[in-house]
Structure 1
Amino acid sequence: MDFLGPHVIGYLILLLHSLGLIAAVHAVLTVRTAQGAIAWAMSLFFIPYVTLIPYLIFGRSTFDDYIKARREANQEMREAISDLNWRPWVEEALTARNSKAYGSLRAMPRLGRMPCLANNSVRLLINGTATFDAIFKAIRAAEKVVLVQFFIIHDDDLGKKLQALLLEKAAEGVAVYVLYDSIGSHALPKSYGETLRAGGVQTYAFATRGSWISRFQINFRNHRKVVVVDGLLGFVGGHNVGDEYLGAKPPLSPWRDTHVEVSGPVVACLQESFAEDWFWASRQLPPLILPKSYPETGVLCQFMASGPADPYETCSLFFVEAIHAANERVWITSPYFVPDEAVFSALRLAVLRGVDVRILIPSRPDHKIVFAASSLYAFEAVRAGVRVFRYQPGFIHQKAVLVDNEISAIGSANLDNRSFRLNFEVMLLTVDQAFAADVEHMLMDDFALSREITSEDIKSTHRLQQLGMRVARLVSPVL
């Protein structure tokens, strides 16, 4: 019997197209956005032999059993801490009502699961050296508990320094908890975590759970970067643990990123976010610490934790609300500029209101398809009146938002579909003129090292490049 005969090949093609049709119907019924559903359905219908396996890996973004399980775990976690008298700091949120600037973010109190809290201190940590110097200093001074969460941890020089420091603190009797994403840290050898566990450090990898088919599911990545020391000092931003974040790896170096050091009542929110993720991974609560007292003065902060298990698309709506609140300016930095229709419309409306709208993106690609899609969106934004800049010295990875003269936000969320709907993200929203001025100076320095995209750049782009950008945009909703 000829197993490679024409009839066998024909049956195989028919089977693949049948499976592709079933998957296309599934995509239409389950993918959250119309753009994403169309992108998947069309490609599954016409070229299933190319897209069927990627759909099993990247698709099924609603993944109902996972979302249900995650919500149930979050509820269990909240019930577990209900006996700890954990939220006396909520009373501090009342002072946020006195802020006219925060009042312009009318949806934010209900959009965020955690309140806007007064009497915090914040400090910008510009670049990897400043960030990890501050984090390592805080960990060295730890006396009770260290909570560490990163999307990526590498077993390189920086990763080994972190490992050695955490083992040292565990040997001193400090309770140390480490959480990293299993996909983001796929290159991390098992020996790294085993060494930590052998030294008394509680260590887990955050991973998707569900039915047997979900073993191929790599959506729902935990993209958060949170460090909390003794319940007093917290860190949040865009850095992961790797030498490239210190600018040590070409061709993307020097790496440009930003973190924030924060103290005050909002640190309790960082702990609660970490507790949710830790509870999912281990079904146990980490130690949670509240200080005996807080400062009587300070700035307003709201910790925004978003994820695919939210009842609505928190991250996308956060950007939409921030852009709509702008009266004078809205400056946004992101390594990936693949906005959904709501965010892009908000940017265009801001331009029509006379707002100074600026987007800062990389000039070098780390993911070529995303870079191509970002380039096309950048061209369309320029045509709409948005000023778009490309950072020249190296790869810009920071995620920052500046609105008018008081409102800023720094964290882990990118301007793309994955951050909007598929990843677990965090942003620290701050309402304070002095801190906003610091962010402004930082971004002005970045703009000075950037090149603005002009209409001439659009005209001079080769037609073949434009075709590649448009093809990349077709798949951008599923990137």
Structure 2
Amino acid sequence: MSPLFRNKFKVLKNGEIFYPRIAEVISQARRHIEIENYIFEPGQVADWILLQIRERLQQGISVKLLTDRIGSHRTPRKTFRLIEEAGGDFKWYRPLSWRTPLWFNNRNHRNLIIVDDQIGFMGGAGISDRWLTGNRHLPRWRDTMLEVRGHLVPVLKNAFEDHWWEATHHHLFSAHSKSNPYSNSSLSQDNEAIIIKSGNSGQSTQNSGFIFRRLIQNARKCIFVTNPYFLPGDPMTSEIKKASESGVMIKVVTAGKHADHPFIRWAARSHYSELIDSGVEIYEYTPTMIHAKTMMIDD
């Protein structure tokens, strides 16, 4: 792992690497485990993770699991009752209801795992065999997870607490929620690593867009982007073009013929020409569905 302002990071590439590591860390939990994800599907990976969770619960360790109702619609409720019967807490994030029709497209796409407030995982992968074995039609998805230790772990916990409160109206009141100086995830001269939390208002989207545009504006040598849904808005497109025309090398890898949402690929392709004309190199990943979301600037 590489230190960055009292944090340590480890890049975990693809399910055959990150799932065993996640299971190992869960098996070593001593106090509590929080899991938040969009996709939790029955299969080998789910059975593996659930086994580790049940063993931890039998030892009296607190487990909280928050899963998006749309992303995990294939998973029967009884799967999670096994966790509840063993003493764990499970909640759907924004279950469908005629009372809240606007929730349908306002989903929770986070993939977070926090263990003992010491180790966190975040990235693009949920709990599903699509990231480990794939299926007869498609090899396992290409994705990246990040293992984190240090001051950013309480920020992940704080992000989890926000959505847990929304789903349950119960605060976890972790020790870090009030005292962690990095919980607001703001930029400062002292912060070399931040996490930009999403939220229920448009403010978080504006914040993340502002920060990404600033990063692009400050690039001097290169920008490497991996994003399966590469569909930047006009302000971001403008900054990317300016950076490329100023001499910054920009390469983008996005989903190709195996895209899980073809209509997004079609929409994205309509913007390729103006970016390519400005010097941006765009590549579509063809071996399988690429789901990683990363950006590297100036090495």
State the TM-score, normalizing by the size of structure 2.
0.88
Summarize deviations over 1:75-100 as a string: whole Å, max 9, x none. Answer: xxxxxxxxxxxxxxxxxxxxxxxxxx
Summarize deviations over 1:344-397 as a string: whole Å, max 9, x none. Answer: 111101111110011101222212211211222233321221101122321111
Unaligned runs of 5+ in 2: 177-190
Summarize deviations over 1:111-160 as a string: whole Å, max 9, x none. Answer: xxxxxx82011101011121111111000000001011111100111112
Unaligned runs of 5+ in 1: 1-116, 291-298, 406-479
Displacement of 1:289: 5.1
Displacement of 1:243: 0.3
Query: Mapping of 1:407-446 within 5 angstroms?
Result: none
SS, match of residue 239 in structure 1: coil
Instruction: Give the residue type in structure 2 aligned to 1:144.
Output: R
2:194 aligns with 302
Displacement of 1:217: 3.6
Distance in 1 separating the partners of 2:136 and 2:238: 36
Q: Tell me: CA distance 1:289–1:261, structure 2 relative to 1, closer, same or farther (3 Å).
A: farther
Q: Tell me: CA distance 1:252–1:338, structure 2 relative to 1, closer, same or farther (3 Å).
A: farther
Query: Relative to total residues, which structure has the larger helix share, 1 or 2?
Result: 1
Distance in 1 separating the partners of 2:133 and 2:214: 34
Residue 174 of structure 1 pairs with residue 66 of structure 2: no
Distance in 2 separating the partners of 1:129 and 1:149: 20
Which one of 126, 137, 143 corresponds to residue 240 of structure 1?
Answer: 126
Whether the aligned pair in 1 keeps the contact of 2:96 and 2:104 (CA below 8 Å) is no
Which one of 340, 345, 363 corresponds to residue 238 of structure 2?
Answer: 345
Instruction: Give the residue type in structure 2 aligned to 1:349.
Output: K
2:107 aligns with 221
Distance in 2 separating the partners of 1:395 and 1:209: 28
Distance in 1 separating the partners of 2:100 and 2:195: 30
Structure 1 window deviating more from structure 2 (212-221 vs 347-356): it is 212-221
1:95 aligns with none
Whether the aligned pair in 2 keeps the contact of 1:333 and 1:399 (CA below 8 Å) is yes
SS, match of residue 64 in structure 2: strand
Q: How many residues align?
A: 280
2:269 aligns with 375
Pick the structure with greater CA Rg: 1
Distance in 2 separating the partners of 1:245 and 1:214: 32
State the TM-score, normalizing by the size of structure 1.
0.56
1:403 aligns with 297
Whether the aligned pair in 1 keeps the contact of 2:155 and 2:195 (CA below 8 Å) is yes
Structure 1 window deviating more from structure 2 (241-250 vs 173-182): it is 241-250
Whether the aligned pair in 1 keeps the contact of 2:69 and 2:96 (CA below 8 Å) is no
Displacement of 1:216: 6.1
Summarize deviations over 1:35-67 as a string: whole Å, max 9, x none. Answer: xxxxxxxxxxxxxxxxxxxxxxxxxxxxxxxxx
2:148 aligns with 262
1:319 aligns with 212
SS, match of residue 271 in structure 1: helix
Q: Tell me: CA distance 1:142–1:215, structure 2 relative to 1, closer, same or farther (3 Å).
A: same
Residue 331 of structure 1 pairs with residue 217 of structure 2: no
Counting aligned pairs with the same residue, the percent is 26
Whether the aligned pair in 1 keeps the contact of 2:37 and 2:67 (CA below 8 Å) is yes
Distance in 1 separating the partners of 2:295 and 2:230: 13
Instruction: Give the residue type in structure 2 aligned to 1:188.
Output: T
Which one of 3, 11, 14 corresponds to residue 127 of structure 1?
Answer: 14
1:271 aligns with 157
Distance in 2 separating the partners of 1:252 and 1:371: 18
SS, match of residue 8 in structure 2: strand
SS, match of residue 195 in structure 2: strand
Distance in 2 separating the partners of 1:391 and 1:319: 23
Residue 203 of structure 1 pairs with residue 90 of structure 2: yes
Measured on the aligned residues, the alpha-carbon RMSD in Å equals 2.0
2:78 aligns with 191
Summarize deviations over 1:283-305 as a string: whole Å, max 9, x none. Answer: 11236356xxxxxxxx9421111
1:27 aligns with none
Query: Mapping of 1:101-116 within 5 angstroms?
Result: none
Q: Tell me: CA distance 1:289–1:233, structure 2 relative to 1, closer, same or farther (3 Å).
A: farther
Whether the aligned pair in 2 keeps the contact of 1:231 and 1:288 (CA below 8 Å) is no
Displacement of 1:214: 2.3
SS, match of residue 171 in structure 2: coil
1:148 aligns with 35
